[in-house]
Each structure stands twice: as C-alpha cells, then as structure tokens.
A and B are shown apart, each in its own frame.
Chain A
Amino acid sequence: MAHRHEVIVVGAGGAGLATALYAAREGADVAVVTKLYPTRSHTGAAQGGIGAALGNVEEDHWEWHMFDTVKGGDYLTDQDAAGVFAKEVIEAVLELEHMGLPFDRLPNGKIAQRRFGGHTKDWGKAPVHRAAHAADRTGHMILQTLYQQCVKHNITFYNEFHVTDVIVEDGVAKGLVAYELATGELHLFQAKAIVIASGGFGRIYKVTSNAYTLTGDLQAILYRKGLPLEDMEFYQFHPTGLYPLGILLTEGARGEGGILRNALGERFMERYAPTIKDLAPRDMVSRAMYLEVREGRGVGPKKDHVLLDLTHLPPEVIEKKLPDITEFSRIYLGVDPLKEPVPVMPTAHYAMGGIPTTLWGQVIRDENNTVVPGLYAAGEAACVSLHGANRLGTNSLGDLVVFGRRAGIHAARFAKDADYHELTEEHLGESRERIERIKNSTGREKVAALRAELQQTMMDNASVFRTGELLAKQVEILKELMDRYRNISIDDKGDAYNTELVEALELGYLLEVSEALVHSALNRTESRGAHAREDYPERDDANWLKHTLAYKVADGKVTFRYKPVVLGRFEPKARTY
C-alpha cells in the first residue's frame, strides 16, 4: 500500500510529537509513523523534570544553564546549540504549560522547580532550582500533553508500523518503507520531508533503564546506507538504576536531598565532588559508584551495589514529590524508601551520540555540514550536539521540545517548496528480501540467545570504564555475532502480529549501533565525559576536542572523519565540581 504526506515523522515520543505538532501548526500535512501505540513511547518514563531558567524559586539565567550544559558535556557540546537551547527551553516550558501540562506549583501559583545534577547558579558555585516538574512523572505528562495536542490537531497516526527502510537516492530523502505489525504488509510512504525521532538504543546493554523497544532502528538503517553517526562513543549510564533491574530512579531524589552511601555508610560523593556532592553530573557519579564497588565498599552479599538513602527526608516529600519511584522500590524490591535505603547501581540510559544534524534538525552527511535535503532528526536519535560527552539531567526533555519544534517548523517550510519524488514497488525490495530471509531461514541461531550475548559483552567490555584491550576484544565479538546473525531463524512464519520477526529485525539494528559505538570508543584515545578510557585517563583537547563521525564500510569495518566543536564564550577548562 502507498501513502503520501508532506511531512512524515518517525516515532511518537516527545521529539516526534513535538515535531508533528509544530509542523502541523505551520500548515503542513503531517503523519506520524510509530512502532508503538502513542503514549507508549519511552519519554513517558522520564521522571524528574525539564530544566529551564525560569527563576521561579531563586535567581537564574539562561547563560548559567548554557554554561552548565557546556561544562556538563565536558566541552564537547557545540556552544551555539547550547545557547539556542538554554534560551528557547524557557519559552518551550511556558508553551507546554499553555498546552495544559500539569506542572507542580509554588504557593504563588507559578511553576515549581527543583534541583538536579550539574545545574548550578553563578557558574558552578552551588546547585540551583531549575527543573520544572510534575511529581516524578514529568516525561509522562509531556508525552500525554503533546499527544493530546496532536489529537486536537487531527494528526494522522500509523500505529505499530515498523520502519524498515529510508529511501535516500542522489543524496536526497524521498520516502520510507514500513512493516505493518497487524498484517505483515509492507507500506511505501512518499514524503517531502522525513523527520527521524525514534529514540535511543539502551537495549545494547544488559542493564538499562530503556524500554525493550529501544533498539536504534533508524540510526542503524542510515548507518548501513553509509550516512555517519556522530559521537557514538558517548553513552550515559544513569547512576541510580534500581538494583538489579536497572529501572530508573530519578536524580530528582537526590535533588530533593537524597544521599548515596557505600557499605560503610559514607557519603562517598563528598570525596569525588566536594562542592555539589551527590548532585555532580551523571558520568562522574556513575564512575564514583563503580570505584566504590571495585575498592570493596559495595553493599550486599556480592558487594556489588551502593545505596540511595532517602530515610532522612520528611515522609510527605517522598510520598508527594517522588511517588512513582517509591512505588517501584516497594513493588520490585520490597524496599520501603521511607524506612530503609534503596539498592542502586548505574543503568544504561541515554545516547549522547546519534544522527548528526544542524541547529534546525537537518541531517548532515559530513564534517562540512552538507545537508541531506528532506531528511531531519530530533531527540535522542539525533546529535545536535547539545549534550557533548555527557548529558545533564532534565536536558533530554528540554532537547526534545526545543529541537523537535525546530525540526517541525523547518521541515514544514521545506516541504512547502519541495515536490514529491517518484517511488515504485522496487523500493520495497530490500525490506522484503530481509524479512523473507529471516522468515525462511532454517539456521540454528536464536534471536534471544544472540541478543543476550550481545548485551552481556557490551556491559563487560564497553560500558562505564573502558580499555583499548577490552574494546578491541568487543570489536571481534561483534564481528562474530554479526556472522551468526545471518543464521538466525524464527518459529513464527505468520503475517499477523509477528512480534518474533520484529525482535529479529531489532537485533540486527542493535548489532549495527553497537558496532558504531565500540569502534568509535576504541578510536578515541582520551577520557572525556561518559567516555572513560583507563588506558588514557586524561582529557586531550590538543588532539580530541572534535566530534567523531563514524561511517560503515562493511561489517566490522568503520572509517572516521571529524567535525570541529563549535566553541564560543566558554573556554575549555578542567571539569571539577
């Protein structure tokens, strides 16, 4: 079946819905293609808040937010992106309020704000109340509110459609191919502009806060086509994953006064970040936790985790401001945070890297910022680069509204002056072949077993701390897994709701994004932000103050080009807190 829309957005999380909404407001005919039902996307799992210098609780300035973002990103953040972001996120939060988002309120009726990791006043002097929140379900409220607005604007949704191909010919984006889960049918989508907002890929790791469905599909599809992925070596581990499941416990818990403790009961962050302690950026806290465990101060029979202590907080703060994480702890561990500290350990959380874009979301193909006309990306799938080497808490929600809006507006305006491209049944060929190959295969490899090996080895060899030796080992493991992937077979040969086929396709994407990540990490011989090389422990601005662009040549073979970091008012300095 064939469809045609001026702007087609892939993904119905926060970035996708923001893009669709603003493109529709510009007058474009917009459709959203999503592999889930709307409101199922993982923006809904974001908890703590959306940072914006509203100054409702105390003095704050967008320049401070910009500085914190650049420093938090270990100076790999493009400063033009950080400036645009810190200014526009204020407007974005106010617009969300106007759309009806139920922010928590201060006694004077203004939006309430809380403290969060790495967000400071006066250029790093002390934590600042910047994160606007709705209890600990801020992402849920953003997702619901944006979807409500999409309903109001009658935007077309293709639910449970899995994109299997993006048609890029002669350097121009022309359309999409998508697999309809309900019927097994392949659909051809013609579009003047395509916006990729399909989220991240935390499922490359064994322990992750990410949904089962976050498998980097669109990053992998573009990467296979020879388009670059930027800064893939920078992957964030959130410090407080509920141990051992990895379910997210918001940094807002520490913003409200929670403290991390080791087996000796010590507030160990005092040693690693004397000024802002438990509210240091996530990369630093996660490394500190790993070091505490490594040095024998871990908790539990295996001494393999630490504790998040909320017991000193007033019970009403916990119940009112952190109700969801309190419930997670009670349900999944039987631990009541009011009475005892909660076991936690870092959990794979967020890709700073992704599909490289301009400040308007246009996908670029090289270090000269050459645009792929008609192709856009926003949200976690994209790399603007706002987050540099390490994203600050709350900046993902800000990112998806600010840059989703920009991508939507630009894509709609581009579409006004663009024509549709001719597409034929032949464009379905590659997708059909890939699907038929999996369905007809009699190979002996199983998707679940191969995926488990991938997730375990990525955890062991390419997570919080890295070495050249382990990364090189993982390069070889990935090659072997890709070989074996050709021999997977599945039980379900049917057409309707073949979720096993979908998992098989997703495993292919996971392998591709893992390859880009591991090769980029092996290539970058320095430590910066979330990329911590034990064999190269220092940041090396002379050689590495630049963005990685990874290009796939063949399985196991990746080449690199480099894009300069956009510098500005903030000179790179040592990063202490």
Chain B
Amino acid sequence: MQVTLKILRFDPAKHEKPTWHTYQVEAEPWDRVLDLLHKVKWDQDGTLAFRRSCGHGICGSDAMLINGRNRLACKTLVKDLGNVITVEPIRGLPVEKDLIVDMEPFFAAYRAVKPYLINNEPPPARERLQSPEERERFDHGTKCILCASCTTSCPVFWVNGTYLGPAAIVQAHRFIFDSRDRGKRERFKALGSGSGVWRCRTAYNCTEACPRDIPVTQLIEEVKRAILFDRF
C-alpha cells in the first residue's frame, strides 16, 4: 500500500522553525513506523534524523508523536494508523534536529529522585529475602524503559519544565515500594517539593502514552499517598 508520511522537520542550522515535509512511501500493513522512517532515510532523503536502536520496543530510543499520540516508532504498525501518518518530535524537550530532542532535562529529573536502591545495612552472605508478594508490589515500575513517552505527553510538563514528570516518579515508586529499600525519606524531599508529585493534575495522558502498559497515573497517586501518610 501507498502511505503518505508527513514529518515535522527542523534543522537549526538552516531553519528558524520546524516545517512539514511529505513523503510517499510504499509500505506493508505489518511494517513498523520505524520501517517507514528508514525507507525515507535510506531511499529518499539521507538527512532525516531520528534515534533508534533495538527496533522492538525495549531500548526506549524512538518515542515520537505519531498521529497525535506519543508512541514508539518500532512498536507502532502501519495497519493501525491508516495511509496518512504524521510524525513529530515528542513535546516539551528542546528539538535538536528533526525528531531528535535534548534528553538531558529528562535524565536530570530521573537523577533527582535517587533512582537506585538505598540500604546501608551490610548485605547478607546470600541474597536479601523478598516474598513474591513483596516483589510484585513494585513490578509495574521495573518495566520502564525511560523512553519519555509519559513525561512528554503531560500537559503540566509542557507548561512547566521543572516538573519532575511521570517517568521520574515511576522510578521513585519502583524503589519506595521495594521492601529492601530504606531511602524513601531522601526521595520524598524531591518528590514533595514544588516541582514534585503535587504538580500532577491526573490528566491520565501518561498512562495512555506508556508503551509498556505501566499504570503511570496510579503509581503517581500511590507516591502522593505515601508522602501524605509519612507525615502522620
């Protein structure tokens, strides 16, 4: 089938603002949007810039705004989109070139929640024990691939870039609810601050955007409650 692919392109060395470019591409219904981008880059215009690596939804490189929704280009098939497809960079992060955005603010928020196990007790000779139920408690957050689909779909983040954003809160949740962790108070400092969880207005965009089916909004609510109950 013939697909009309509209890509919002931008080269700061040449243009003042982004412009739409249209490409006609021959595609199969089971092709990934990533395959179409490759067809453009390899057969029509080598200057098109985008990130990708694994090609099957596990590395988190290729989050884009596809037909108005944040998704991974490698996990979105032509058959689910029809024959006119629009592709734009994810929103709220500075665009560097075409579909490539500056990821540094995103990773800075990630680092701010101390995304690592905090436990200064000397570890046992063998593994720390954890029941299957305790392990299940934080399972959702462990699926996160840091693709930024959630954070860059959040209207609060678009307006206020200092908001930590859903992805960083998901990472915090993953440790706060891990029975082996002892660092929740340290994390609550960042999470309870003006740029933390209270910015969330439960728009649910993040949950809809997550390519890993993480119930992001629910996890944010659980972190809010954990901070509240910690005060009593």
Chain B residue nearest to A242 in the complex (CB):
B56
Contact residues in A for B30 (Cβ distance below 8 Å): 332-334
Partner-contacting stretch, out of A57-65, A95-103, A267-275, A516-524: A95-103
Chain B residues 92 to 112 lying within 8 A of chain A, measured CB to CB, are: 96-98, 100, 103, 107, 110-111
Q: Which of A40, A144, A496 contacts B96 (CB 8 A)?
A: A496
Please give the distance in Å from A418's CB to the nearest CB on chain B.
Answer: 30
CA distance A213 to B138 in the complex (A): 31
Please give the distance in Å from A84's CB to the nearest CB on chain B.
Answer: 20
CA distance A497 to B94 in the complex (A): 14
Contact residues in B for A213 (Cβ distance below 8 Å): 53
CA distance A28 to B110 in the complex (A): 25
Contact present for A97 and B178 (CB under 8 Å)? no
CA distance A44 to B128 in the complex (A): 24
Whether, in the assembled complex, A499 has its beta carbon less than 8 Å from a beta carbon of chain B, the answer is yes
Please give the distance in Å from B60's CB to the nearest CB on chain A.
Answer: 6
Whether, in the assembled complex, B146 has its beta carbon less than 8 Å from a beta carbon of chain A, the answer is yes
Q: Which of B58, B97, B127 contacts A44 (CB 8 A)?
A: B58
Partner-contacting stretch, out of B19-27, B41-49, B157-165, B219-227: B41-49
How many A-B pairs with Cβ below 8 Å? Answer: 145
Contact present for A496 and B43 (CB under 8 Å)? no
Please give the distance in Å from A35's CB to the nearest CB on chain B.
Answer: 9
Contact residues in A for B128 (Cβ distance below 8 Å): 97-98
Q: Which of B103, B131, B138 contacts A37 (CB 8 A)?
A: B103
Contact with A along B28-51 (1 / 0, CB 8 A): 001000000000011101110110
Contact present for B58 and A149 (CB under 8 Å)? no
Contact residues in B for A39 (Cβ distance below 8 Å): 59-60, 145-146
**Given A105-B135, A492-B46, A324 contacting B58 (CB threshold 8 A):** yes
Give the number of chain A interface residues (Cβ < 8 Å): 57
Contact residues in A for B143 (Cβ distance below 8 Å): 137
Contact with B along A233-260 (1 / 0, CB 8 A): 0000000000001010000000000000
Q: Which of B45, B53, B123 contacts A211 (CB 8 A)?
A: B53
Whether, in the assembled complex, B129 has its beta carbon less than 8 Å from a beta carbon of chain A, the answer is yes
Contact residues in A for B11 (Cβ distance below 8 Å): 494, 496
Contact residues in A for B59 (Cβ distance below 8 Å): 36, 39-42, 44-45, 211
Q: Which of A45, A100, A500 contacts B117 (CB 8 A)?
A: A100
Please give the distance in Å from B142's CB to the nearest CB on chain A.
Answer: 5
Contact residues in B for A36 (Cβ distance below 8 Å): 53, 59, 61
Chain B residues 75 to 101 lying within 8 A of chain A, measured CB to CB, are: 75, 77, 96-98, 100
Q: Which of B50, B75, B116 contacts A100 (CB 8 A)?
A: B116
CA distance A44 to B145 in the complex (A): 9
Whether, in the assembled complex, A291 has its beta carbon less than 8 Å from a beta carbon of chain B, the answer is no
Whether, in the assembled complex, A554 has its beta carbon less than 8 Å from a beta carbon of chain B, the answer is no
Contact present for B52 and A496 (CB under 8 Å)? no
Contact present for B115 and A148 (CB under 8 Å)? yes
CA distance A149 to B115 in the complex (A): 9
CA distance A37 to B123 in the complex (A): 31
Interface majority SS on B: helix, strand, loop or mixed?
A: loop
Whether, in the assembled complex, A134 has its beta carbon less than 8 Å from a beta carbon of chain B, the answer is yes
CA distance A36 to B146 in the complex (A): 13
Whether, in the assembled complex, B55 has its beta carbon less than 8 Å from a beta carbon of chain A, the answer is yes
**Given A37-B103, A44-B58, A496-B96, A491 contacting B45 (CB threshold 8 A):** yes
CA distance A144 to B43 in the complex (A): 36
Sorting the interface of chain B by its residue count into under 10, 10 to 19, 20 to 34 or 35 or more gives 35 or more
Chain B residue nearest to A35 in the complex (CB):
B53
Whether, in the assembled complex, A140 has its beta carbon less than 8 Å from a beta carbon of chain B, the answer is yes
CA distance A247 to B59 in the complex (A): 13
Contact present for A42 and B53 (CB under 8 Å)? yes
Contact present for B55 and A212 (CB under 8 Å)? yes
Whether, in the assembled complex, A317 has its beta carbon less than 8 Å from a beta carbon of chain B, the answer is no
Contact residues in B for A498 (Cβ distance below 8 Å): 49
Chain A residue nearest to B128 in the complex (CB):
A97
Partner-contacting stretch, out of A107-115, A405-413, A474-482: A107-115
Contact present for A152 and B12 (CB under 8 Å)? no
Contact present for A107 and B61 (CB under 8 Å)? no
Q: Which of A37, A102, A149, A490 contacts B61 (CB 8 A)?
A: A37
Whether, in the assembled complex, A495 has its beta carbon less than 8 Å from a beta carbon of chain B, the answer is yes
Chain A residue nearest to B181 in the complex (CB):
A100
Contact present for B56 and A328 (CB under 8 Å)? yes
**Given A36-B61, A212-B53, A331-B77, A102 contacting B135 (CB threshold 8 A):** yes
Contact residues in A for B47 (Cβ distance below 8 Å): 491-492, 494, 500
Q: Which of A40, A137, A148, A448 contacts B116 (CB 8 A)?
A: A148
Please give the distance in Å from B141's CB to the nearest CB on chain A.
Answer: 9
Chain A residue nearest to B32 in the complex (CB):
A332
Contact residues in B for A105 (Cβ distance below 8 Å): 130-132, 134-135
Contact present for B123 and A448 (CB under 8 Å)? no
Please give the distance in Å from B59's CB to the nearest CB on chain A.
Answer: 4
Chain A residue nearest to B76 in the complex (CB):
A331
Please give the distance in Å from B72's CB to the nearest CB on chain A.
Answer: 10
Whether, in the assembled complex, A94 has its beta carbon less than 8 Å from a beta carbon of chain B, the answer is yes
Contact residues in A for B188 (Cβ distance below 8 Å): none
10 A-B contact pairs sorted by A residue (CB < 8 Å): A36-B61, A37-B107, A39-B145, A40-B54, A100-B175, A105-B134, A148-B117, A151-B116, A331-B77, A332-B56
18 further interface pairs, Cβ-Cβ under 8 Å (given A42-B54, A332-B56) = A37-B61, A37-B103, A39-B145, A40-B61, A98-B128, A100-B175, A102-B135, A103-B127, A105-B132, A105-B134, A107-B131, A140-B145, A144-B142, A328-B56, A332-B30, A490-B46, A492-B46, A496-B96
